[in-house]
């Protein structure tokens, strides 16, 4: 209900419209705010990759591209290639055509397999756990692992993002996406 003073005041009406327009432009968080509490903002993927046992228990946020995924006994295991996070979103550049490094994700629930196709992009918030030996493209490797609290997945069909950061953000927004979180959120 609009109050009589708002009906008569063009300044109030314009101010209200501006507030609504600005709030519509505000970014929508990828994860519930509580999920981001306690993330290690200084986490170094390269250090973790080289010495995965030294970071156990840290809460981190990573981005990546799905290499493979498997579900067993109501749980999901994902192997991902690490990608950087730029302005809060997964991002890829031509400089990253070389393999940066893989990591594993353990999620204590099942995920619809259509979200886990090779090439799909993801972001994850989770806690570093013990490294595990897994097969990556047919080769046994010991990878750093995390237990996921929340996963954001984009169905890209393996399509790459444009090199321009703004175009990449727009393109990422055009892909179908979903979020899976532990029941505590």
d(CA 115, CA 76): 12
Looking at the domain assignment, is residue 57 inside a domain? yes
Q: Average pLDDT across each block of 10 residues of the chain; the chain has 185 residues. List them in order.
A: 42 31 46 89 91 92 93 95 72 50 95 93 95 90 95 81 52 79 76
CATH number for the domain spanning 164: value is: 2.40.50.140
Classified as helix, coil or strand, 144 is strand
Asked if residue 58 is part of any domain, the answer here is yes
Looking at residue 166, its pLDDT comes to 52
Domain assignment of residue 7, yes or no: no
In the prediction, which pLDDT does 12 show? 30
51 part of a folded domain: yes
- Residue at 6 is within a domain: no
Tell me, what's the pLDDT at 103? 96
Total number of domains in the chain: 1
- Domain assignment present for residue 21? The answer is no
Give the closest residue to 33 by CA, choosing from 149, 129, 121: 149
pTM flag (> 0.85):
no
pLDDT of residue 148: 97
Q: Is 46 left (phi over 0), alpha (psi -120 to 50) or beta?
A: alpha
Distance, in Å, from the CA atom of 159 to the CA atom of 16, rounded to the nearest integer, reads 41
Closest CA to 67 of 140, 109, 117: 117
List of residues 6+ apart from 28 with CB closer than 8 A: none
Which structural domain range is residue 168 located in? 30-181
Residue 8 lies in a domain: no
Q: Is residue 11 part of a domain?
A: no
pLDDT at position 132 is: 95
């Amino acid at each position: 209900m609009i109050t009589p003073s708002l009906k008569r005041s063009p300044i109030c009406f314009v101010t209200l419209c501006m507030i609504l327009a600005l709030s519509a432009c505000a970014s929508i968080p990828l994860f519930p705010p509580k999920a981001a509490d306690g993330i290690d903002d200084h986490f170094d993927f390269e250090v973790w990759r080289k010495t995965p046992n030294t970071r156990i228990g840290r809460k981190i946020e990573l981005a990546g591209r799905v290499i493979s995924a498997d579900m067993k006994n109501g749980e999901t295991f994902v192997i991902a290639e690490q990608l950087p996070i730029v302005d809060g979103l997964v991002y890829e550049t031509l400089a990253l055509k070389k393999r940066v490094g893989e990591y594993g994700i353990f999620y204590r629930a099942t995920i619809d397999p259509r979200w886990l196709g090779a090439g799909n992009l993801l972001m994850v918030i989770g806690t570093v756990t013990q490294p595990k030996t897994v097969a990556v493209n047919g080769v046994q490797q010991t990878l750093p692992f995390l237990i996921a609290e929340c996963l954001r997945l984009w169905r890209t069909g393996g399509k790459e993002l444009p090199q321009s950061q703004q175009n990449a953000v727009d393109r990422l927004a055009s892909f179908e996406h979903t979020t899976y979180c532990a029941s505590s959120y």
